[in-house]
Each structure stands twice: as C-alpha cells, then as structure tokens.
Amino acid sequence: MISKVLIANRGEIALRIILACKEMSLKTVAVHSEADRDSLHVRYADEDVCIGPAPSRQSYLSISSIIAAAEITGADAIHPGYGFLAENAHFAEISSECGLTFIGPTPEAIRLMGDKAKARETAKRAGVPILPGSDGPVKTFTEAMDVAREIGYPVILKAAAGGGGRGMRICAAEADMQGAFDTARSEAERAFGSPDVYVEKYLERPRHIEIQVFGDTAGRIVSLGERECTIQRRHQKLIEESPSPALSHELRQQMGDAAIRLCQTVNYINAGTIEFLFQDGQFYFMEMNTRIQVEHPVTEEVTGIDLVKEQIRVADGLPLTVPNGDFHLRGHAMEFRINAEDPVTFAPHPGRIREFNCPGGPGVRVDTAAYRDYVIPPHYDSMIAKLIVKGKTREETLARGRRALDLFIIEGVKTSIPLHRAILDDPRFIRGDLSTRFMEEFEW
C-alpha cells in the first residue's frame, strides 16, 4: 500500500497532488529547486527536499536527485504530474526498479504511445481513424502526386523527421504540388538532415477534441468524455471546455469507443488522453498523452471524479471507482489558463505578484500555487493559475467565466486575464463556432 508520495513536480500541479494525498491521508514529500524555496508545494507538503539549482535539467529533470530524495525520505510512490519527467519511460522504469510505485502508466505504454509514428501505426491497427496519407515518406514526386490525388486536396507535405512547422507545405491543388514538394524537401534536408517528406490530408479548420481515458490493473478501461481544446496559440492551449459544443451524444460515444480500443491494444493503465482532430463530423487520431493533463479539472467538474485520487488508487492496484453503465456529462465546465505574460505579445512576464485576489462564489474553482508577494521565477513556464468555472449550461458557464475573470485581481505582473475576458465576448466563441485558427483571426 502507498503511504508516502513524492511529488516530482512544482507549481499548481504539485499542490493539486498534495491536496489529493491529504484527502487520502497519505504523507507527502515535495522536491524543489533553489528557485522554488518559497513555493506553496514546499510549504504544504509534510517533508521537502531541495534537489538542485534553478535550471530544470539539474533539478526537476534530474532523475538521480529525485530518486535520492525518495530514498532519504522513505517515500514509496512517485507522482510525476505533467511536463518534466511525466512522459519519460526511463524515469518510470527506474522508479519501479528502486521499489517505488510510479503513479502513471507502464514504461512500455509510455514508450509505445510516445513515438508518433508507432502510435499512428497502433491506432491504425486498432481501427481508430487516422488522417489519410502516405504510409511513411514518399520516395518520388510521382508517388506524392498519386497519394494526393487519392486522398483529395488540400494536402500537407510534412518532414518525416520534423516538427515545429519547418519542412511543411500546404497544397490547395495539383498545380501547387511541384513547388511545394521541392521546397518542403530542401527545408527538411536543411532543418533535420533528411529530405524525407510524407503526404497527409490537410484540415483547414479543425477542432482539437480529446478524450480522457482511464485504465486499471484489472484491465478495465473507461472513457470519461471529451474536452474541447481548440482555443490555442502556437500549439499552447488557452481555454478548454467540456462537453464540446460540436459533439452529439453518438459522436461522443464513437470517439470514446475508439479511444478505449486504442488503449486496449497497449493494455493501458492509469490516466491518459487521446487527442483527435475533428472537422465536418469526422475525427482523426492525432496523439496520446500518457499522463494527467493540465486541463484535467474540466473533466473532474463534469464527471464528479477526482482524477488525481483515482490515479493514486489505480497505482495502488485498486479498481476504478467509475460506475458501470451509460456515461453522461453533467453541466458544462470551462478552464482558463492564466499565464504571467503580456496578453497581446504573449511575452512572458516574471516578477513579484503585488496583489492576488481569487474569485469565488458558486461554480468557481481556482487551481494555483501563487499568492500575494510570490515571485514568479523566470526558469519555468508562465502559467500561474487555472480558473475553472462550471454551470448548468454553456451559457451559464460563460456568464460565470466573465464575472470570475472580472473579479480575478492579479497586480505586479501582466497576465492573460484581459485576453480571456475578451474571448468570452467574441460572437464566434459564444456560438461555439471554433477552429484551431481562432486566435489567428481573433481581434480585440
């Protein structure tokens, strides 16, 4: 049985895990860098260990320091949170080898789903829809043309070795292909050392909808509904909600079933998220995240399930507490990621918080590790709070969101609060007419 949990993370998620442990009467160990001495997770944990200097590589990413901290404090389990070492199969493996229960999936599942090409292959075998495209890189221009003709325009050419937008070209029609093929190949060659590109169907206005899944050691896997995370900028999510305004009960069930099928093929245990692109009533598997997500509270609010406590229970070998039978989401929840950044330029804005007043009232939850006089260190990500609002309907949720954002007072640093507030007045957002290009087109 787990009795003492070391939290290998910082900030609001470290605090979130401590809260779950407290409710389960488990002892907690916080680890921290020198820059985080005055953090709330350090203050609220039963024990704390400084594991290194401010840079993450020497502290929150240092496997040996974290394991050593578990050894000297006698912790018997490790919760990795999200980010840092959460999807590091090696860390999960070493934890187990050192006799520590890793609160998360098995190293094999992390490895299998962490490799994008392998995950796509696994999805295909499980009968989960993937974006139509070439099987691996196309060798010649003729082959690229054949694939494009078969799947239909528009298509996107992507560097096989790539990421971050380089070596990518969108083709609206056949006439664009030759130029796009040549540029994509030379860009891929220069950026990644390999000219290989593959062809994929291009979705012009997709939504990003993900399914929360959970598996236990008895082999039961459930889907806990979706989260719509379409409002992003530079692939960073800004607002998440559940249920998605785009899904019918049938579609939700189809996506949930697809997600469960995928998890079954890898015997998935613990919390995970299957990300889909969605357009014109069709959904396509994008990738899987083998950890708890930043936006997990949205699901907690509409399902009434404490996902972090569930993670600890499942890691301890206990069965899921989710009841059997038809699954319904109750009400509507929305999360706003409050970042310490300039709301217009998105430049991070670390510094001292001079005033901090959290909103409250019915249907409002704030997950944060910030407080008045807290100094936001420049070494880590800029998210300082998550505001989660819940209502009976989407309309009520939007109204709650507006008044909660109005009452959320943070002074001393710039935050994304004004941006969130403006989005809530946007007619397209109010209608739920969303695509991942929303922020490109958004005007204040």
Taking CB under 8 A as the rule, does residue 61 contact another protein? no
Q: Which of 252, 291, 337, 400 is catalytic?
A: 291
Residue 4 beta carbon to another protein: minimum distance, rounded to whole angstroms = 14
Q: First-to-last CA distance in the chain?
A: 53
Rounded CA gap, 423 and 439, in Å? 9
Residues across the chain: 444
**Using CB under 8 A, which of 5, 8, 9, 52 touches another protein?**
52
Our finding on whether 67 is near another protein (CB under 8 A) is yes
Q: Whose Cβ is closer to another protein: residue 24's or residue 68's?
A: 68
**Nearer to another protein among residue 28 and residue 382 (C-beta):** 28
Summarize the chain as % helix, strand, coil (round to 5).
35, 25, 40
- 72 in contact with another protein (CB under 8 A): yes
Which region, judged by CB under 8 A, interacts with another protein, from 46-54, 298-306, 353-361, 406-414? 46-54
Residue 53 or residue 129: which is nearer to another protein going by CB? Answer: 53
Q: Which window, 45-53, 209-217, 301-309, 343-351, contacts another protein (CB under 8 A)? A: 45-53
**What is the nearest approach in angstroms of another protein to the Cβ of residue 58?**
9
**Could you say whether residue 69 binds another protein (CB under 8 A)?**
yes
> Nearest distance from residue 49's CB to another protein, in Å?
5
Rounded to a whole number of angstroms, the minimum distance from the CB of residue 319 to another protein is 33
- Asked if residue 352 binds another protein (CB under 8 A), the reply is no
364-368: strand order across its sheet: 282-289, 270-279, 207-215, 221-233, 236-242, 332-339, 383-391, 364-368
Instruction: Catalogue the E-assigned strands of 53-108.
Output: 77-79, 101-102
What is the spatial distance between Cα 361 and Cα 122, in angstroms, rounded to a whole number? Answer: 45
Q: Residue 49, interface with another protein (CB under 8 A)?
A: yes
Q: Min. distance of Cβ 14 from another protein in angstroms?
A: 17
Q: Has 291 been annotated as catalytic?
A: yes
Smallest separation, CB 50 to another protein (Å):
4
Q: Choose, by CB under 8 A, the member of 19, 22, 24, 34 that binds another protein.
A: 34
* DSSP secondary structure letter of residue 348: B
Whether the ω angle into residue 195 lies within 30 degrees of 0, i.e. cis, is no
Smallest gap from Cβ 95 to another protein, in A, equals 11
Q: Smaller CB distance to another protein: residue 5 or 320?
A: 5
Considering the rule CB under 8 A, would residue 37 count as an interface residue with another protein?
Answer: yes
Q: Determine if 51 is a binding residue for another protein (CB under 8 A).
A: yes
Q: Does 50 bind another protein (CB under 8 A)?
A: yes
Tell me: does residue 98 bind another protein (CB under 8 A).
yes
Asked if residue 64 binds another protein (CB under 8 A), the reply is: yes
d(CA 144, CA 185): 12
* C-alpha dist (Å) from residue 341 to 86, 412, 438: 25, 11, 19
CA distance 274 to 89: 18
Taking CB under 8 A as the criterion, the residue among 19, 46, 53, 170 binding another protein is 53
44: its two tokens: 């609220």
Instruction: State the nearest-atom distance from the C-beta of 179 to another protein, in Å.
Output: 53
Binding segment (CB under 8 A) for another protein, from list 65-73, 142-150, 269-277, 435-443:
65-73
Of positions 19, 24, 61, 68, contacts another protein by CB under 8 A: 68
Residues ≥6 apart with Cβ < 8 Å to 332: 241, 242, 243, 302, 390, 391, 392, 393, 394, 396, 397
At 391, list the tokens.
């209502």
Q: Please provide residue 214's backbone torsions phi and psi, each rounded to the nearest 5 degrees.
A: -150, 130
Does position 90 bind another protein by CB under 8 A?
no
Phi (first) and psi of residue 269, to 5 degrees = -120, 145
- C-alpha separations of 343 from 161, 337, 375, 389 in Å: 33, 12, 19, 21
User: Do residues 336 and 419 lie in contact, with contact meaning Cβ atoms separated by under 8 Å?
Assistant: no
Positions touching another protein (CB under 8 A) are 34, 37, 49-53, 59, 64-65, 67-69, 71-73, 98
Catalytic residues: 291
